[in-house]
Amino acid sequence: MAAVQWPENVGILAIEVYFPSTYVCQEKLETFDGVGKGKYTIGLGQKKMAFCDDQEDINSLCLTVVKGLLEKNRIDPKDIGRLEVGTETIIDKSKSIKTVLMQLFEKSGNYSIEGIDTTNACYGGTAALFNAVNWIESRSWDGRYAIVVMGDIAVYAEGNARCTGGAGAIAFLVGKDAPLVIDQGIKGTYMQHCYDFYKPDMASEYPTVDGKLSIKCYFTALDKCYQLYKEKFARQQQTNLQKTTISDFDYMIFHTPFCKIVQKSFGRLMLHDLLDLEDDLDSNMQEKYKELIKYRGIDLESIFDDEKLCKDIERSSVKCSEMMFKEMTKPSLLLAENIGNMYTPSLYGGLVSLLVNVDQDSLLNKRVVLFSYGSGLASSMFSLKICPEEGLQAKFLKLVYQMQSVKTKLSQRIEVEPDEFGRILKRCEETHHLSDYTPMSSLDNLWPGTYYLTNVDKKFRRTYARKPKTSKFVETAETSCGFL
- Report the SS3 class of residue 159: coil
* Cα–Cα distance measured from residue 255 to residue 23, given in angstroms and rounded to the nearest whole number: 21
Catalytic residue annotation: 88, 122, 255
Distance separating alpha carbons of residues 422 and 165, to the nearest angstrom: 13
Comparing C-alpha atoms, which of 22, 21, 26, 59 is closest to residue 462? 59
Q: Among residues 141, 129, 147, 170, which one has the least CA distance to residue 76?
A: 147
Q: How far apart are CA 460 and CA 332, in angstroms?
A: 39
Could you give the angle at the alpha carbon of 155 between the alpha carbons of 422 and 446, nearest 5°?
A: 70
CA atoms within 13 A on the CB side of 416: 19
Cα(129)–Cα(122) distance, integer angstroms:
13
Of the candidates 382, 392, 389, the one whose C-alpha atom is nearest the C-alpha of residue 130 is 382
Please name the residues in contact with 162: beta carbons below 8 A apart, sequence gap of 6 or more: 33, 155, 156, 425
Separation between Cα atoms, residue 156 and residue 163, nearest integer Å: 8
Separation between Cα atoms, residue 83 and residue 101, nearest integer Å: 9
Q: Which amino acid is at 481?
A: C
- Do residues 343 and 170 lie in contact, with contact meaning Cβ atoms separated by under 8 Å? no
**Helical ranges in 238-306 per DSSP H:** 259-276, 283-288
User: Which residues, 6+ apart, have CB-to-CB distance to 15 below 8 Å?
Assistant: 69, 170, 171, 172, 173, 348, 351, 352, 355, 399, 402, 403
Q: How far apart are the first and last CA of the chain?
A: 40
SS3 of 436-456: the string is CECCCCCCCCCCCCCEEEEEE
Judge contact between 7 and 178, C-beta under 8 A: no
Helices in 137-277 by DSSP H: which ranges? 211-237, 259-276
Closest CA to 42 of 52, 27, 32, 31: 27
